[in-house]
Structure 1
C-alpha cells in the first residue's frame, strides 16, 4: 500500500532554563520551561535516515541556554523571538521554528532570596517562519471564582437530564488564555511585559465585574474587553474547565434548624465541563501559521 510522510516536526522539550542576573547585589531571577521545535523539509531523515539537514535537539537545548545569557530575558516573548530566529538561521532546511515557554514566578524576600509563587503561569508560543512571525502570549492555571452573580438555566433537556436549574451558583475555572498579537517588523519594539500585565488585569476585572448567565458569556465578555483595550491584539483563545461547586445537602442530618443557604459546597474536580472559545477582531485575516492550532495550544 502506498504511503507518504505527513506533517512532522522535532525539537527539545522542557528545557528548565533559570537565569540569575547578578550585575548588582540585588539579584533578579527568571525561571523558564522552554520547548523548541523545527518544521520543514526533513523527509530524508524519516525516509532514508539521512540526518544531513537535521539540527540536533541537543543543539537546540544548548542554544536555549546560551541565549538566556547572550540575549537575556527581558520578557519571554522577546527571548522566544531571538531564540526562534537563531534556530531558523542555524537550520536551512527548516521553514519555521517554534518556541514554547512557561514562566514560573518568584517573589522577592531579600536582595538575593526568593520564594516560589504558586498559581498562574505566564506563557508564550513564538513561531518564527521565513515569511511570517507570530506570537501568542498567555496565562495558564489562572484559578478564579465568583461566589455569586452567576446562573445557569433555560438549557436544553432530554430524558437523561438531571441537572437542576439555578439562578445563584459559584462560577469557578482554571483558565488558560492565549492572545495573538498583530506584529510589524517581527515584533520588535513591543513592550511585552506591559501588554501582558494589562491583558491579565483586564481579564480579572472583567471576570469580577460580569454577571454571568453561563461561562461562555463570561469568556466572550473577557475576550472582547481585551481586544477593546489593546489594538495590537488580534484574537484571544480560552480553554476553561468549569470547576463545579455543589451545594451540600443538609436535609438528611438530624440537626434541628441546620440549613445550607448557599454557604457550604463540595468542590468536585472531575468530571468537569470544558468550555473553549475564540474571540476575534472583526476584519482581520486568520492566523498565518497552522502551528497555532496544534493540540494543547487552545
Structure 2
C-alpha cells in the first residue's frame, strides 16, 4: 500500500488504491475524506470553475485564461455532456462560476494577475433562456489606478459566490500571500463598485470559494488547503467565526470548489482531476 507523508503527519490512514483512476482514489484528512471521482475530458485543459448544472451529478465548468469562452457540462464520471460558447464574451481570464436562486450563472472574468486590469467583468447568463449575456462591469473600491507594486498586489480574484442577492468576491493575495479581502458587488448588469466589507488572514492564495445551500458554511480553497467557515443562517458576516482547516494532500493545483450539498463538496484541478470531499 502506498502511503503519503502528508497523511502521516495528520495521523491518518491511506485507503485501498484503484489503479483505474489514479495512484489513489480516497484518503482521509483530520476532518474529512477526499475521493477522486474521474478524469475530466481532454477538451477541458484548465478547469477553473464549477457550478451545478440542474441535474444531480452534473456540473458546468470552463477553462482558464486565453481559452475559448465555452461552458462545458460534465458528469461525475468525467463524461462531456455538452459545450456552449457564450456569445458576446471573451475569455480574458475566466476564474470561477456562481449561481443564484433563479438559475442564473455568473461567469467571473475576474483574473487580474498583474493587478492592473481596468476591464473586470462578470457575465450573467441563463441556461434556461438561451445563454443571452448580461454584463456586470466593476472595479474594486480600494484599487489604485495605474501600476500596483508587487508586494501590494491583492486585487486579483479567483473565487466568488452569490448570496442574498449579492455577489461576494475573495481576493487572491499575490503580494504577501496572507490576506484575503472580501468584496460585495451587485448582481445586476451595469457598471458598479465592488465594496470592501471584510478581510481575513488566510495563508497562501485563494483559488475558489462557495457557500453551502443552507447558507451555514463558506468554503475557501487554496492550494493544498480547504477552509470552512461556519455562518449564521442568513448572515453575511463570513469571517466572524473560526474556520476549520483541512489539509488536501495530492489534490494538485485545485482551482474550483462547489457545495454539492450541505455536507459534500466537489473540486477540480488544472491537472484534470474531479474530486469529491465529504465533510
**TM > 0.5 between the two?**
no
More strand by share: 2
Q: Scaled by the length of structure 1, what TM-score is found?
A: 0.28
More helix by share: 1
Q: Scaled by the length of structure 2, what TM-score is found?
A: 0.29
- Of the two structures, which has the highest relative contact order with CA contacts closer than 8 Å and spacing of 6 or more? 2
**Which structure has the larger Rg?**
1
